[in-house]
Amino acid sequence: MPVAVRELELDLDAFEGPFDLLLSLVLREELPLEEVDLAEIVIAFAGHLQAKGELDLDACGEFLVLISALLELKARAMFPEEEAELSELEPEAAAEELARRLAEYRRAKEAANWLRERLDERRDIFFRLGPAPLAPKAERKLAPQEPLELAAALRGLAVEPPEPSTAHMALRFPPVSRFLDRWRAILRRRARFDFDQEVAGLSRVEVAVAFLALLELCKQDEIAIAQAGSFAPIRISRADAERTLSWTAHSA
């Protein structure tokens, strides 16, 4: 099975993806070649070849052509003025780097072999694995408590909550007109009255409707409402009586 050089997957610092894409990006000058570590590509290709397990000469040839073109491009980009010197320096440094990396990889392989032998020696060794049957002793975070006190505290919470009141659903609103008639009747007899006294003993709803009736009368200019201050008694007087009073005050 031939190695598809152009499909070689690369994972470099500057680039990740197929070799083919790297080539097009470099040729279109969208990826500065100075940032691409070409030695890594060589190592990746070598690893790829090794993974395949057989030597594909066509693929190797294609790779050599491509990588040497890249090397030349990179060299020219890095040393535009020093081409003469480069021809002597670059291969030396490259060879040094290649040797260093091959040595590093060789060590990893040797270590892997050593581990493989180790594993074979341990083939007959079984030990217990899995989640800990016992957890390491944890710090006790809560203050110590008396069980009876805890029970008493819980009992207070364990009572049935009170039934929610549905009383408001049965509320009947008395007609405003009833209080309109009532206030007018009182004012026919008396010049003024005290609201709180008149509504004493009525339900909250009735008091509210009675107050609405007052506002209605006030709007129609039938009465005057006076209150000395917040929460002070509300005094109601006939509108004409109020006028009379002010006249009196003026005439005094």
Which residues sit at the interface with other proteins, rule CB under 8 A?
A: 9, 11, 13, 40, 43-48, 51, 95-96, 98-116, 118-119, 121-134
Q: Which residue has the tokens 């004409």?
A: 240
| Cα 41–chain centre separation | 41
CB of 88 to other proteins, least distance (A): 16
CB of 133 to other proteins, least distance (A): 6
Nearer to other proteins, 22 or 187 (CB): 22
Q: Which amino acid is at 73?
A: L
CB of 70 to other proteins, least distance (A): 17
Nearer to other proteins, 114 or 173 (CB): 114
Beta strands in the chain (DSSP E): 9-11, 16-18, 192-194, 223-227, 234-238
Nearer to other proteins, 126 or 231 (CB): 126
d(CA 65, CA 143): 76
Backbone φ and ψ for 153, nearest 5 degrees, come out as: -65, -35
CB of 46 to other proteins, least distance (A): 6
What residues pair up with 71 in beta bridges, in sequence order?
none
Nearer to other proteins, 125 or 159 (CB): 125
